[in-house]
């Protein structure tokens, strides 16, 4: 029996030590009896320094990196009523910004008196997911509504019994309906791609690819979209083939070229370069537009991120293109990044792996 009790105690101790949430146990005299490793990590404190210390001092130390005095008082109030109040969330600023959910619970053992515990759970990720979901809903509804309103408007107009539209007008209305339907289709495709990227389920079918051909095609298509820009290609004469999914690479190139056109609205030169670096071919698309502030260079690859939400909304777009491009490039084992100074144009670069002997063998094997 004794042995059993010891084992249970050890197990309970090990469980607290291995728990993914932080735990603080406070004894009957309001002194810290346990601070598990996760709590040490979350708050960047050492258990050895706090064991036996007054818990109020601990609350004040935590509150310094969060809501200040007011928060320390709130901790104390919840601790005093551990049995009644469920808990609350607060934002911790250091060692890194996190949202922590704190829950107090009374310890009910016979000899525990006023002893209690606190569970600290890092809910930062949940909060981000929540924020992303609301952003998704608002973007999707806004982006779907605009083309839908125009499709509906022009269809209703065409169907009016009391007006006869001449053929040219009818065709113009139908052309708008077609264009707006394409926009809807593109947005839905983007959302589907994004959800595959997020689930780590983006399907890519690799084969040896001649980048030179893909780049030429993409540039020809892009040139058809604009009269204000001219394109210059600077492709190394001996470009090795890359190990990639041509459809997906086309998607990345189209996105970068369309962005260059969209965000350099005054026209100018767009330069596409391919060069070899170690085991990769690096493709760059450079424009002469406004550029991107340095501190936002990484964020443009976040889903839904737009440097200037209001003005880019006008040009259309959901802020998903670069996030998908990043997912595609990374699924190939490459990287994508941007370089820019405000007012000096932007350069987007991505790398794709050069075909290796082993890739080809693998390919034959699969066929
Ligand atoms: P979208 O174009 O649909 O907004 P993207 O993911 O393709 O979405 O781009 C995200 C944001 O990055 C854009 O809204 C824009 O603010 C910025 N951006 C992208 N490419 C460029 C560029 N070539 N020059 C300046 N800003 C750019």
Residue from 300, 316, 341, 349 to probe ligand 1 pocket by mutation (most atoms less than 8 Å from CB): 300
39, 61 Cβ separation under 8 angstroms: no
Name the percent of the chain lying above pLDDT 90: 63
- pLDDT tens column, 271-328: 999 999 999 999 999 999 989 999 899 999 998 888 876 544 555 677 889 999 999 9
- pLDDT tens column, 207-241: 999 999 999 999 999 999 999 999 999 998 889 99
99, 89 Cβ separation under 8 angstroms: yes
* Whole-number Cα distances in Å, 70 to 77, 89, 102: 11, 14, 15
- Decide which of 26 and 146 is more confident: 26
pLDDT higher than 90, residue 198: no
Ligand 1 pocket, residue 148 CB under 6 Å: no
pLDDT higher than 60, residue 4: no
- Decide which of 364 and 217 is more confident: 217
Minimum mean pLDDT range among 121-125, 152-156, 305-309: 305-309
Q: Among all chains, which residue has been given the structure tokens 């190990």?
A: 243
Residue 314's pLDDT is 53
Query: Of all atoms in ligand 1, which is nearest to the CA of residue 322?
Result: 6
Across 146-150, 161-165, 229-233, which has the greatest mean pLDDT?
229-233
The Cα–Cα gap between 257 and 272 comes to 9
The Cα–Cα gap between 263 and 110 comes to 70
The Cα–Cα gap between 108 and 180 comes to 64
pLDDT higher than 90, residue 30: yes
How far does the centroid of ligand 1 lie from the alpha carbon of residue 322, in Å?
Answer: 7
Strand duo 229-235 + 268-277: pairing = parallel
Strand duo 268-277 + 280-286: pairing = antiparallel
The Cα–Cα gap between 88 and 69 comes to 16
Residue 134's pLDDT is 84
Residue 307's pLDDT is 84
The Cα–Cα gap between 121 and 118 comes to 10
Q: Outline where 199-245 has alpha helix (H).
A: 211-225
Query: Of all atoms in ligand 1, which is nearest to the CA of residue 303?
Result: 6
How confident is the model over 325-338, as a mean pLDDT? 96
Ligand 1 pocket, residue 117 CB under 6 Å: no
Residue 1's pLDDT band (cuts 50, 70, 90) = very low
Residue 223's pLDDT is 95
Residue 365's pLDDT is 63
264, 270 Cβ separation under 8 angstroms: yes
Residue 112's pLDDT is 65
The residues near 317 (Cβ < 8 Å, ≥ 6 apart) are 262, 306
The Cα–Cα gap between 346 and 102 comes to 44
pLDDT higher than 70, residue 37: yes
Minimum mean pLDDT range among 44-53, 76-85, 216-225: 76-85
Average pLDDT over the chain, rounded to an integer:
89
Give one DSSP letter per residue of 12-27, joined into a string.
Answer: HHHHHHH-SSEEEEE-
Residue 25's pLDDT band (cuts 50, 70, 90) = very high
Which of the 8 DSSP states describes residue 240?
Answer: P
Ligand 1 pocket, residue 139 CB under 6 Å: no
Minimum mean pLDDT range among 159-173, 186-200, 253-267: 186-200
pLDDT higher than 60, residue 128: yes
Q: Looking at ligand 1, which residue's alpha carbon is closest to its atom 8? A: 319
Ligand 1 pocket, residue 318 CB under 6 Å: yes
Query: Hey, what are 233's tokens?
Result: 């290609």
pLDDT higher than 70, residue 2: no
pLDDT higher than 60, residue 158: yes
How confident is the model over 41-67, as a mean pLDDT? 93
């Amino acid at each position: 029996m004794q042995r059993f009790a010891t084992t249970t105690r050890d197990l309970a101790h090990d469980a607290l030590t291995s728990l993914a949430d932080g735990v603080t146990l406070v004894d009957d005299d309001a002194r810290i009896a346990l601070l598990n490793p996760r709590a040490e990590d979350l708050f960047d404190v050492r258990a050895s320094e706090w064991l036996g210390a007054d818990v109020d001092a601990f609350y004040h130390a935590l509150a310094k990196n969060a809501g200040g005095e007011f928060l320390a008082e709130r901790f104390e109030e919840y601790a005093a009523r551990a049995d009644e109040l469920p808990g609350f969330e607060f934002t911790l600023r250091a060692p890194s910004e996190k949202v922590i959910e704190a829950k107090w619970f009374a310890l009910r053992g016979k000899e525990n008196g006023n002893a209690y515990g606190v569970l600290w759970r890092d809910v930062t990720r949940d909060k981000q997911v929540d924020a992303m979901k609301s952003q998704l809903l608002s973007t999707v509804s806004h982006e779907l509504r605009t083309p839908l309103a125009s499709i509906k408007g022009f269809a209703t107009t065409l169907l009016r019994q009391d007006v006869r539209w001449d053929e040219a007008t009818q065709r113009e209305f139908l052309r708008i309906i077609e264009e707006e339907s394409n926009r809807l289709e593109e947005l839905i495709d983007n959302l589907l791609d994004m959800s595959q990227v997020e689930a780590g389920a983006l399907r890519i079918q690799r084969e040896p690819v001649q980048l030179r051909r893909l780049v030429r095609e993409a540039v020809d298509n892009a040139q058809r979209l604009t009269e204000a820009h001219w394109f210059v290609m600077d492709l190394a004469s001996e470009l090795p083939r890359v190990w990639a999914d041509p459809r997906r690479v086309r998607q990345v190139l189209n996105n970068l070229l369309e962005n260059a056109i969209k965000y350099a609205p005054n026209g100018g030169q767009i330069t596409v370069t391919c060069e070899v670096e170690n085991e990769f071919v690096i493709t760059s698309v450079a424009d002469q537009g406004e550029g991107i502030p340095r501190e936002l260079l990484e964020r443009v690859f976040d889903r839904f991120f737009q440097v200037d939400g209001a003005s880019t909304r006008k040009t259309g777009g959901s802020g998903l293109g670069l996030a998908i491009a990043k997912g595609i490039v990374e699924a190939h084992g490459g990287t994508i990044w941007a370089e820019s100074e405000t007012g000096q144009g932007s350069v987007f670069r991505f790398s794709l792996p050069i075909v290796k002997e082993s890739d080809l063998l693998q390919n034959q094997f699969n066929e």
